[in-house]
Structure 1
Amino acid sequence: MSLRGEPLPSPKQNRRLQKGWEGFFPYYAGYPEAFASSVINQIGLRKGSVVLDPWNGSGTTTYAAAQLGFDAIGLDLNPVMVTIARARLLASSEADSIGALADHVVRRSQSSSQEVDASDPLLAWFSRRSAATIRSIECGIREYLVSDLTISTEGVMLENLSGIAATFYVALFALCRQLARRLQSSNPTWLKFPSDDDQKISERPSLLIEAFKSNLQGMASALRNREDGKVSRRYAETQLRVADSTAPNLKRASVDLILTSPPYCTRIDYTSATRIEFAVLAPLADVEINELRRQMIGSIRVPVQDLSPKDEWGPTCNKLLRRIRRHPSKASAGYYYRTHLDYFDKMSRSIASLSKTVRRSGSIVFVVQDSFYKDIHNDLPAVMVDMFGANGLDLYRREDFRIPRSMAGINRYTKLYKRDPGATEAVLFFAKA
């Protein structure tokens, strides 16, 4: 493990930089590609090194690693994000095939009248006619571009989904997002549900098909103009899997760098942020969305099992939990205390599992953000230092970046407490002691 002492770019995602190919992946992310590339370069990995992101999201880490010629593994519990990360890796050489394949998929979707099932989750936002058109396009993608390596009698193996098929799904995701823009709430992770059928989104089938094809044309153009890394990606292998960070099922001492931004302890419902994409992908997503919401780290759903603080969570975490439990506000000693227990239990188990996968000479780089519960400061970076220390890893570098406003500020009740609306995003570097 080596580290060049160069300053890091900010890990704060900058929407203005998401242009061209990157503009088609506008999903909530912990850091931009420039940051991930800078960390990987500064660590000084040797040829053949493996980079892991256990909360891979839209695939920033795996994309940056592949561009630099390193093998990468990306894990995520959300099948939507695994699909998006797969599309992001599509080689520029595939751009010319998108147009021809689009014509075949559209013809396939138009060749049979698609009846939408009454239980289809698309009907939560779309009229029956529009939902049927969207589902017919999805069926065309699934039947024309998804092979029996992905869908077999044994179930769905989403990690085998091709980059082309994933790209077509992302184009359909984008179409649904564009149509549902008027349903966006003040919380950017939540779409409103129309209260009756008259308020549901309804567009002509021909318009939906043309908009889908237009998205694909835009993606093909952006992919064609994308500047790939100087290092050939021919020799880099990227694995993307639907997997739980608490039990990643990876070989011991098989990874050289873990670079990730785990879910922050800010009660953001990451699964609901992709609810409409989840509806599109329903035939390939073999998990029920409310169950997925419960499994996620940072879940806002009350855990089923009874939990209690553990010594290995460290003094910072346990002091925070005691203060939350004693807070006089409503539900602090019940709901909020239990959801915080759930967060730290899953995070502790994840760190314990992930620490075993790193080689003796490897590094773990976590990007985490502090926050507040009511008027109580949640120093998540300090909690991470304690938890990694309990697993035999020491902090050897830290860089802080001040953020003027955080996602937590969208909750109007935060104004009841006199506190800074911003947050500190910390980049923490760990190595085995």
Structure 2
Amino acid sequence: MMSRLRILSPKRNKRLQTGWEGFFPYYAGFPELFARELLQSAKLPSHAVILDPWNGSGTTTYAASGLGLTSIGLDLNPVMIIVARARLLPPSEADHLLPLAATILSHARAASPTLDPSDTLLDWFKPTTAAFIRGIEWNLRRSLVGSRTKSPDSVHLDKISGTAATLYVALFAVCRKLVTPFRSSNPTWLRTPKEIEARLAVSPATVARYFTENVKGMSTTLAEKLDADSLAVGSPRVGECKINLSDTASMRLDANSVDFVLTSPPYCTRIDYTAATRIELAVLGPLLSTNARALGKQMIGSTQVPCTSIEVDEKWGKTCARFLAALQKHPSKASSGYYYRTHLDYFDKMSRSIQRMSDAMKPDSRAILVVQDSYYKDLHNDLPKIISEIGVKHGLTFKQRKDFHLRSMSDINPGRQSYARPSGATESVLCFTK
């Protein structure tokens, strides 16, 4: 008999983002407390394998690791691979972060590398500032990124060390702080300056100070965690964790290999998940095999119109078919063209992803998906119901839906006032069994 799950609100709460978790803010997903309580209440055996196919900043893998469980986290965004790996850094590594940062800064001050004119840091920063930031990144890469991560013919970010990933996260935070003038009212979107706008000129001393402060804060917090762990009864067992760069629509996982899925797939709200990490992708540029635009096209929920023709599939369920038919007939501009095609792309990728997730699950395993509804103009997109139907079409049994009402970023869009629809959104926790 399966244990009863403890389902807290999946809404992110800034008050809960303290300690080590506070260094990994992410606009999507759920809080660590939500993940930890769910996994604990599932009463899984010690050999259980946990999967998060949309791992994001690594909340599921971090919580599972802390409970001694084996986990697999996948994400298509290289930035999220770095963030998730940094989050898993053992507290025992706290003491050498600051000395490493000091050495990296010393080399960066001594000589900056020749800046490539196509370096995307130049989208936001003047050449002197961009060159110093790239100098920090270059020295970080030279000191801590070995041939297992970057070889002449390929890059394997899943092999990057936790220490290197942590220092990259510290540099990400510096750049995100500096580009605040280019943030929009939508917290998921960072714009690039127009041609006529001045790029940012920040002194190397300021950049170095911010970087040092970030690393010092991370080191101190990790040391406090180490001290707390030393006072605990018995040594906490840390679960094995794999963080891999992968597209969920084509991911390869062994059949019947997963005991529990805990994830939050991309919402159908036309959020460009790469635009939210533009500055981090710029920092990572030398380690990437693709550019931000190409990466954005691969994402579920891409705002780029796919070139291929996609037909409505019966495996998407009746609710999805009705919504798409209404969208195609909607009188607003581009509904039957651009917006219809982007929604087809979303549901095609989502259906293929859930099929692969289902194939990887063991008999009697469970999957918990956090999904949010939305509106297209005045049309309700009941994504939780659609995902429930897609899951059933792909061999899962739908067991429970628990709803939580929350404020929605779409409410800040002035255009929504033209349509009669409720404020806020419903975030649903969907429970399936295999």
- Which category describes the TM-score, using the shorter chain as reference length? over 0.9
The one-letter code of the counterpart of 2:422 is D
Q: Distance in 2 between matches of 1:416 and 1:310?
A: 32
Residue of structure 2 in register with 1:30 after alignment: 29
Deviations 1:52-82 (A, max 9, x none): 1000000000000001110110000000010
For residues 203 and 382 of structure 1, what CA distance do their matches in structure 2 show? Answer: 49
Residue 389 of structure 2 corresponds to: 386
- CA apart distance, 1:115: 2.0
Matched-pair contact (CA < 8 Å) for 2:66–2:237:
no
For residue 125 of structure 1, what is the aligned residue in structure 2? 124
State yes or no: 1:48 paired with 2:50: no
* Residue in structure 2 matched with residue 201 of structure 1 by the alignment: 200
Change (3 A) 1:77 1:233: farther
The answer to whether the 8 Å contact 1:127/1:197 transfers is: no
Instruction: Note closer, same or farther for the CA distance 1:232–1:303 as it changes in structure 2 (3 Å cut).
Output: farther
Deviation digits for residues 82-130 of structure 1 (CA, Å, limit 9, x no counterpart): 0000001111111111011112211222332322111000000001000
- The answer to whether the 8 Å contact 2:67/2:237 transfers is no
Q: 1:401 aligns with which of 390, 400, 404?
A: 404
AA at the equivalent of 1:2: M
Alignment check: 8 A CA contact 2:305 2:338 kept: yes
- Quote the sequence identity (%): 50
Cross-structure match for 2:183: 184
In the alignment, is residue 303 of structure 1 matched against residue 306 of structure 2? yes
Give 1:150-161 correspondences, 5 Å limit: 150-161=149-160
Moved more, 237-246 or 18-27: 18-27
**Offset from partner CA, 1:249-283 (integer Å, 9 cap, x none):** 11111110110000000111111000000000011
> Any residues of structure 2 matched to 1:35-184 within 5 Å, and which?
35-184=34-183
Deviations 1:174-206 (A, max 9, x none): 000111112211121222323347621111112
* SS of residue in 1 equivalent to 2:171: helix
**Does the aligned pair in 1 maintain the 2:66–2:238 contact within 8 Å?**
no
CA shift for structure 1 position 29:
2.5
CA distance in 2, matches of 1:208, 1:84: 20
Instruction: Quote the RMSD (CA, aligned, Å).
Output: 1.5
CA contact (8 A) 2:306 2:342 kept: yes
Tell me if structure 2 keeps the 8 A contact 1:69–1:231: no
What residue is the counterpart of 2:412 in the other structure? 410
Are residues 5 and 343 of structure 1, via their aligned partners in 2, closer, same or farther at CA, if it must alter by over 3 Å?
Answer: closer
In structure 2, the CA distance between the partners of 1:94 and 1:36, relative to structure 1 (3 Å rule), is same
How far apart are 1:331 and its partner, in Å?
A: 0.4
* Corresponding residue pairs, total: 430
Q: Give the whole-Å Cα distance in 1 for the aligned partners of 2:342 and 2:148.
A: 38
1:116-174 C-alpha deviation (Å, 9 max, x unpaired): 11100000000100000000000011000111110113310100000000000000000
User: Structure 1 residues 231 and 394 mapped into 2: Cα distance closer, same or farther (>3 Å)?
Assistant: farther
Alignment of 1:311-330 (within 5 A): 311-330=314-333
Q: Which residue, 241, 246, 251 being the options, matches 2:244?
A: 241
Partner of 1:364: 367
**In structure 1, how many angstroms separate the alpha carbons of the residues matched to 2:334 and 2:373?**
22
Aligned to 2:268, which of 257, 265, 270? 265
Gaps of 5+ in 1: none
Identify unmatched segments of 5+ residues in structure 2.
none
Q: Contact between 1:68 and 1:231, CA under 8 Å: does it hold in 2? A: no
Name the CA distance, whole Å, in 1 between partners of 2:31 and 2:417: 30
Aligned to 1:280: 283
Q: TM-score, normalized by length of structure 1?
A: 0.96
Structure 1 residue identity aligned to 2:36:
S
1:355 aligned residue: 358
Q: Could you tell me how far apart the structure 2 residues matched to 1:382 and 1:89 are?
A: 34
Of residues 339, 343, 350, the one that matches 2:342 is 339
1:366/1:232 CA distance change after superposition, 3 Å = farther
The CA distance in 2 between the partners of 1:245 and 1:104, in whole Å, is 39
- 1:215 offset after TM fit, Å? 1.0
Alignment partners' CA distance in 2, 1:246 and 1:66:
25
Q: Structure 1 CA distance, aligned partners of 2:2 and 2:110? A: 58
The reply on whether 1:374 has 2:377 as its aligned counterpart is yes
Cα 1:231/1:349, change in 2 over 3 Å: farther
Q: Which residue of 1 aligns with 2:427?
A: 425
SS, match of residue 199 in structure 1: coil
Q: TM-score, normalised by structure 2?
A: 0.96
The 2-side partners of 1:391 and 1:134 are apart by 47
Aligned in 2, Cα 1:378/1:197: closer, same or farther, shift over 3 Å? closer
